[in-house]
Structure 1
Amino acid sequence: MEQNLSLYKIFYTVAIAGNISKAAKELYISQPAISKSITKLEQSLDTILFLRNSRGVQLTEEGHILFKYLDSAFATISTAEEQIKRIKELDIGHITIGVSTTLCKYVLLPYLQKFIEKSPHIRITIECQSSNKTLQLLEENKIDIGLIGKPYTLKNIDFYSLGEIEDIFVATQSYINNLKIREATGSNDLFKTATLMLLDKENMTRQYIDDYFIKNNIELNNLIEISTMDLLIDFAKIGLGVACVIKGFVETELQNKTLVQVPLEIPIHKREIGFAFSKSVPLSSAVENFIHSYKEYEKT
């Protein structure tokens, strides 16, 4: 069939024109070339498609059948071309983004508002998953882009850094004061005596903090695992314990002293967050627009 595609186009044009010379002008090819193409198609299909007369050509019964289906096929192609043109003109597209609940609220959401205002015709789908799950979805080509903490190894992933984040421990001042009354301890000993609140083990942030504890030989006794960063912050604010949070997400609480930062003898190294996308899949125009727009958003 692939070899017949150009022949079908010639046949279709001749059928509409009803005349080989008129079709030749529309297609910018010679009349003998058109006649030869029609003959070749008829031989390929082993049937007669046109009856020639003094006024031009007329479709046979078989020619009418072929024309009917080609008319539908070319109309579908024309519709597809128009839709693609419309996508380009209106910047229409679809982006599926994988992101943790925490990064979605504190990093992605503020940007999405600006992006949607600029590109209202791009449809956005959000897959709220852990960074580890987001990486898996990228590898399986189930999402277009992920907003994640930078993993130790990138494998087949390209990574566009959005900057660094800092993990800290926070609590209410009253909780710290009461803890000091009960236990006269240093900061490392505080981890043994305080109720420590961390994200669950599926979270990449938790894995990063666990590595910090292991490398510094810090033992934990009283541990509560929480599913989201928001709950960690809320539980810390009611004095339930010491929570490990991202500093940039509690700036307001630190400024108004709702929470205080617990000093550490050994600081936690900052880490990167950014957009990740698969090297094996070309970026769509919508995704390229999304990343480019973020670069512009960072400058404002």
Structure 2
Amino acid sequence: MKKIVLIFAVGLLAYGCATVPLTGRSQLAMVSSAEIQPLVNEEYNKAKSSSKILTTTAEGKKVVRVGEKMAKAVEAYLISEGYESLVKEFAWEFNLLESDQVNAWCMPGGKVAFYTGIMPICQDETGIAVVMGHEIAHAVASHARERMSNGMMLNMGMSAVSTAMGQNPTMTQQILLQSIGMGSELGMLSFSRKHELEADEMGLIFMAMAGYDPRQAPIFWERMSKSGGAAPPEFLSTHPGPDRRIERLNANMPKAMEYYEKAK
């Protein structure tokens, strides 16, 4: 009996696996994008309605301009690599919300929000591109879906995920918010360092694809590490240390520069 259960479990996990574009890493994908997108749209609208939207300001327009430019470059890359189905899942939206939090996030489907608190650290459009590339990478790599899949497995075992989502919408909502970095209870559902470093690597290349100098990324993270005083900003609270991520960014710089030279 145990052997049968094991075979079933392995088969289920194999069925529910996906591959991250660019890095080629295998990930758990028990939750489909179609299943979570209605909840994503609802939560994104809640975030907008609970904050002052500054997207039409000069700073907000910069966020939109950088976001649209990078999304176009990333989609072109994904299509060239055979990920047309993934591109169809994106309905990009970029907003600047008023908040002192030094933070930005991206929901599945390409729903991006920057907080005004991070804009002084960005300084310019290239700085915005560093953050934007990192956030877009989370969406392209389906990190939230992966974290939700892990969360559902931990909370519900191997029962049907769609049934679990329907029977316990509150839990599903909490898992979604935690999986994109908006939840207050981080625990096991906070972004793993693996995801953060993967988003750094992909984001570095994405900004280069869009024609933004990737050499500015380590400089941005140096500014970020100095911005929090005694306590780190929210954007760094569950992330790898600045020194480690800067080291990794520099290690990936030659590859990113190849894309940057092509984009110039």
Output the TM-score relative to the length of structure 2.
Answer: 0.29
Which protein has the bigger helix share? 2
Larger radius of gyration: 1
Q: Whose strand fraction is larger, Structure 1's or Structure 2's? A: 1
